[in-house]
Structure 1
């Protein structure tokens, strides 16, 4: 019988379901949704299909109440291990306490890199005390693995495959896509696409400046490589004002946030994908674009760059703080022959990092966690209790 693992995410989106289905091949998966009514990303609530065992939590309450709910709902299912997304959310922290109380080994799913943000020594010391309660880790890149090693996790207990999307879905549904409504009648494959929340770190203001420079000397035809900004957020009004000031209203389109069933129409009709974030732990939209067969140019501050984008081979990398560098990659992406090679090599690269890879990595992590459960010392246990009392 396959080992049973409980996998917790705060609010299920399509890629969570794809990953857990990948894990359901080698494992018996209990899918725990901590906040079923969460609205941070605006996803439609996905169906949780068999063979996943769906376990929704109440989505609110104190740490003690969440632990009690896990005790009543999860303990009878007797998982061999539990996988948690990091250490910061209340639900993940409560589940770690539950795991310690029930002597169930915990697996740390992480996409954090040591370089993401400036680190504070005291905070890092506290994290080490928390990470000491985990028995294994699941990451994707060497950078992510190194950070967990820095926090005290055994390198031999860290496995790969965390950052995955449903590659097959995007490849198949984008293949015969038709132009989305509201876009100009461009020749197939002749617009730039990006997809983000409209927040500061996505660097969209600098992307607009770079795109304005790209347009200088080109025709005023709105069908000549327009830029489509998918998404929405707090900076929408500011971006609209900037678009007007740059006189790009006819060339920069902002169709809003789109659900997963609409995305392939954009991926399948665009000419290239650009992701300009100044910092990004991973960047799953890059997985989606590459799986759809698009050539990509992405910031070298995206975590996925280390694994997915080999500069000049599977795509292009640029410094997100260098507007001229962004303009240069936009120009280079319009070179059809080179972009076709990026797309082909990129799709082959991302194919190795789909849901099946998540599943095999999770299975390895479960085996390692069960074979060698964590042994936190007295200081580690005291710190977990102290942090718990503050939540």
Structure 2
């Protein structure tokens, strides 16, 4: 049978294949109305590479290129690096903008030369831009930088047809630049919920076995941190809060991840003779599910976190979550007193109080975990696809 003609042809631009984006691209490609083509600026992430934050060489263990149409653009940069402005210089993108076969181009952020090349070119080609980024106002910048940024972005945003906020704080950021509600369409930061739901069912009955394999006490509640052990993630704040509550309530603290703060944290554990603190190192996507399954509480204490997709992941496993007030996901996914708590960043005492409330009440933990699950079920690929379609129909009306 011939394939059904889809309503819209969408060109998506991405710096490189990313483990969180790939499943979303696949879901979009399966939708009835969007014919998706993804252009990658580099092959970064496909082969194993050394990550400075994790202090480890690794390769993602999930497929990054399955289920959607894609193309790798020639990169003219002297040194390909998606985190650097001049690490992506892809003049070939102009060929796609000139083709006049797409209804819109979906651009993520403005931190690359190629993105600015697109911004400068699409107006000439009359190709509408749909802009998505994770920027928010949770981390104030110096006044001089703020004025310069505002001047640049206000001019840039005039070239954008529609905006795709990833959550509430991101939408508030756009509004400060004069973007109206009618030009914004929610395309939330999501993970592959079904992947984690499936793994939760797979591991839920194996908790004791998993704990035994890591020599973790079976009867104690487990607190989990997952991320790079760097200053911005504030893993030491959690360790200090754990030291406070462990005097009243026995528990286990697990760190999944690696980074420059590891040695300092291990020294702190020894100095204060803390028990039941486990440093597990980096865990890939499939391994991580095992650890989520044995956790009782998830904590992300970062001093700056534009979103924090590990919060989504933990909620897929039905865990109550505690986040700092600088974590973007907290604005949409954490309902204080319902499925977790939000504490003031750096306030060790407040974090310890949040931990104690959950550690001392198993029933509350279970109730909050169920609420996390119900919230995350409605923060999904389907909502993102709906937002993309609303944006595309809005753009169609403008023509």
* RMSD of aligned alpha carbons: 2.4
SS in 1 for 2:350: helix
| Residue 203 of structure 1, aligned match among 234, 249, 252 | 234
Q: CA deviation at 1:64?
A: 12
Q: CA deviation at 1:98?
A: 3.9
Please give the per-residue CA displacement for 1:83-103, whole angstroms capped at 9, x wherever unaligned: 111112333223323433432
* Contact 1:164 1:353 (8 Å CA) reproduced: yes
Q: CA deviation at 1:74?
A: 6.0
Structure 1 position 251 matched with structure 2 position 282: no
Q: CA deviation at 1:182?
A: 5.5
| Residue 194 of structure 1, aligned match among 222, 225, 247 | 225
Question: Any stretches of 5+ residues in structure 1 without a counterpart?
Answer: 219-223, 374-391
| Residue 169 of structure 2, aligned match among 116, 140, 143 | 143
324-333 or 26-35, which deviates more: 26-35
What residue is the counterpart of 1:376 in the other structure?
Answer: none
User: What CA distance in whole angstroms lies between the structure 1 residues aligned with 2:216 and 2:265?
Assistant: 24
User: What CA distance in whole angstroms lies between the structure 2 residues aligned with 1:64 and 1:204?
Assistant: 30
User: What CA distance in whole angstroms lies between the structure 2 residues aligned with 1:312 and 1:146?
Assistant: 24
Please give the per-residue CA displacement for 1:345-383, whole angstroms capped at 9, x wherever unaligned: 11111111111111111111222234337xxxxxxxxxx
What residue is the counterpart of 1:54 in the other structure?
Answer: 70
User: What CA distance in whole angstroms lies between the structure 2 residues aligned with 1:69 and 1:281?
Assistant: 30
Structure 1 position 115 matched with structure 2 position 174: no
| Residue 16 of structure 1, aligned match among 16, 21, 29 | 21
* Contact 1:67 1:95 (8 Å CA) reproduced: no
| Residue 123 of structure 2, aligned match among 93, 100, 121 | 100
* Contact 2:10 2:102 (8 Å CA) reproduced: yes
Query: After superposition, where does 1:114-263 map in structure 2 within 5 Å?
Result: 114-118=137-141, 120-177=146-203, 178=206, 179=210, 183-187=214-218, 190-218=221-249, 224-248=250-274, 250-263=275-288
Q: Which one has more relative contact order, counting CA pairs under 8 Å at least 6 apart?
A: 1
Structure 1 position 30 matched with structure 2 position 46: no
258-267 or 37-46, which deviates more: 37-46
Query: After superposition, where does 1:46-85 map in structure 2 within 5 Å?
Result: 46-50=63-67, 52-61=68-77, 66-72=89-95, 75-76=98-99, 78-85=101-108
User: What CA distance in whole angstroms lies between the structure 2 residues aligned with 1:344 and 1:189?
Assistant: 20
112-121 or 279-288, which deviates more: 112-121
User: What CA distance in whole angstroms lies between the structure 1 residues aligned with 2:88 and 2:139?
Assistant: 32
Please give the per-residue CA displacement for 1:269-297, whole angstroms capped at 9, x wherever unaligned: 11111111122111110011001111211
In structure 2, the CA distance between the partners of 1:348 and 1:10, relative to structure 1 (3 Å rule), is same
Query: After superposition, where does 1:313-328 map in structure 2 within 5 Å?
Result: 313-328=338-353
Question: Any stretches of 5+ residues in structure 2 without a counterpart?
Answer: 1-5, 79-85
* Contact 2:225 2:255 (8 Å CA) reproduced: yes
Question: TM-score w.r.t. structure 1 length?
Answer: 0.86
In structure 2, the CA distance between the partners of 1:59 and 1:348, relative to structure 1 (3 Å rule), is farther
* Count of residues in Structure 1 that have an aligned counterpart in Structure 2: 366
206-215 or 182-191, which deviates more: 182-191
Please give the per-residue CA displacement for 1:46-90, whole angstroms capped at 9, x wherever unaligned: 33222x111122345287994521123564482211111111233
| Residue 305 of structure 2, aligned match among 280, 288, 303 | 280
